[in-house]
Structure 1
Amino acid sequence: MKKGTVLNAGISSVIARLGHTDTVVVCDAGLPIPGATERIDLALTQGVPGFMQVVEVVTKEMQVEAAYLAEEIKQHNPQLHETLLEHIRQLQQHQGNHIDVRYITHQQFKKQTADSQAVIRSGECSPYANIILCAGVTF
Structure 2
Amino acid sequence: MRKHGILNAELAAAVCRLGHTDTVVVADCGLPRPAGVPVVDLAVVFGVPRFVDVLDALIAECAFEGCTAASESRGSAVEDVVLARFSDAAFVPHEELKQLSSTATLIVRTGEATPFANVVLRCGVPF
- Interval containing the TM-score (normalised by the shorter chain): over 0.9
1:58 aligns with 58
Amino acid at match of 1:40: V
Instruction: Give the whole-Å Cα distance in 2 for the aligned partners of 1:88 and 1:108.
Output: 19
TM-score for both structures, normalised by structure 1: 0.85
Amino acid at match of 1:63: A
1:29 aligns with 2:17: no
TM-score for both structures, normalised by structure 2: 0.93
Three-state SS of the structure 1 residue aligned to 2:44 is coil
Q: Percent identity?
A: 36
1:118 aligns with 106
1:68 aligns with 68
Three-state SS of the structure 2 residue aligned to 1:66 is strand
Would you say how many aligned residue pairs link Structure 1 and Structure 2? 127
Instruction: Give the whole-Å Cα distance in 2 for the aligned partners of 1:42 and 1:22.
Output: 20
Three-state SS of the structure 2 residue aligned to 1:115 is coil
**Structure 2 gap ranges (5+):** none
Q: CA deviation at 1:21?
A: 0.7
1:85 aligns with 83
- Structure 1 counterpart of 2:97, from 105, 109, 113: 109
Instruction: Give the whole-Å Cα distance in 1 for the aligned partners of 2:15 and 2:116.
Output: 23
Q: CA deviation at 1:87?
A: 2.8
**Structure 1 gap ranges (5+):** 90-99
How well do the aligned residues superpose, as a CA RMSD in angstroms? 1.3
